[in-house]
C-alpha cells in the first residue's frame, strides 16, 4: 500500500507523501477512490491484528493511542491543510468519500478528472 500510494502521489499528484514535497494535485485514484485514509487504515489493521494475535495490553494500548491520535490530527490539521491547498475539489471529495470506512464502489468524479 505504501509503495502504491507513493507511485500515485508522484505520478498524478506531482509530489510525494513528504511534507517538504507535498502533491501539487489532489490524488483521487486507486485506493483513494474508496476511502480518504487508506494508508492509516492499513496501519490500523496491522496494529489490530497484532493486538489480537499477541493479546497484549501494550499492543492494545498502542492501537488505542494510534487511533486516538489520528482521529484528532486528521480532522484538525491534515484535512484543514488539504482544504486550503485544494479547495472545492477536496471538499467535494470529502463529502463523497469517507475517511476510515471504505466505500463499496469506487467514487468517480468525472467533473474533476482533468484536475487530477
pLDDT, tens digit (0-9, with 9 covering 90-100), for 24-45: 999 999 999 999 999 999 999 9
Q: What is the CATH code of the structural domain delimited by 2-115?
A: 1.20.120.1630
Distance spanning both ends of the chain, measured CA to CA = 20
| Rounded distance between C-alpha atoms, residue 55 and residue 49, angstroms | 10
Predicted local confidence at residue 18, as pLDDT: 85
Max CA pair span of the chain: 48
Cell numbers for 105, please give them: 464502489
Q: Is the pLDDT of residue 58 over 50?
A: yes
Residue 114's pLDDT is what?
Answer: 47
Banded model confidence at residue 111, pLDDT cuts 50, 70, 90: low
User: What is the structure's pLDDT at 5?
Assistant: 87
Does the pTM of the predicted model rise above 0.75? yes
CA distance 37 to 101: 9
Question: Could you state, in order of their start, the residue ranges of all structural domains in the chain?
Answer: 2-115
Cell triple for 100: 476510515
DSSP type of residue 20: T
Amino acid at each position: 500500500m505504501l509503495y502504491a500510494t507513493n507511485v500515485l502521489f508522484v505520478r498524478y499528484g506531482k509530489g510525494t507523501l513528504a511534507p517538504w514535497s507535498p502533491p501539487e494535485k489532489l490524488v483521487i485514484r486507486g485506493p483513494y477512490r474508496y476511502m480518504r485514509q487508506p494508508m492509516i487504515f492499513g496501519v490500523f489493521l496491522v496494529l489490530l491484528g497484532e493486538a489480537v494475535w499477541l493479546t497484549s495490553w501494550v499492543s492494545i494500548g498502542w492501537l488505542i493511542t494510534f487511533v486516538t491520535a489520528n482521529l484528532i490530527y486528521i480532522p484538525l490539521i491534515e484535512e484543514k491543510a488539504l482544504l486550503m491547498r485544494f479547495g472545492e475539489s477536496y471538499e467535494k471529495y470529502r463529502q463523497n468519500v469517507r475517511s476510515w470506512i471504505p466505500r463499496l464502489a469506487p467514487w468517480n468524479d468525472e467533473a474533476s478528472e482533468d484536475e487530477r
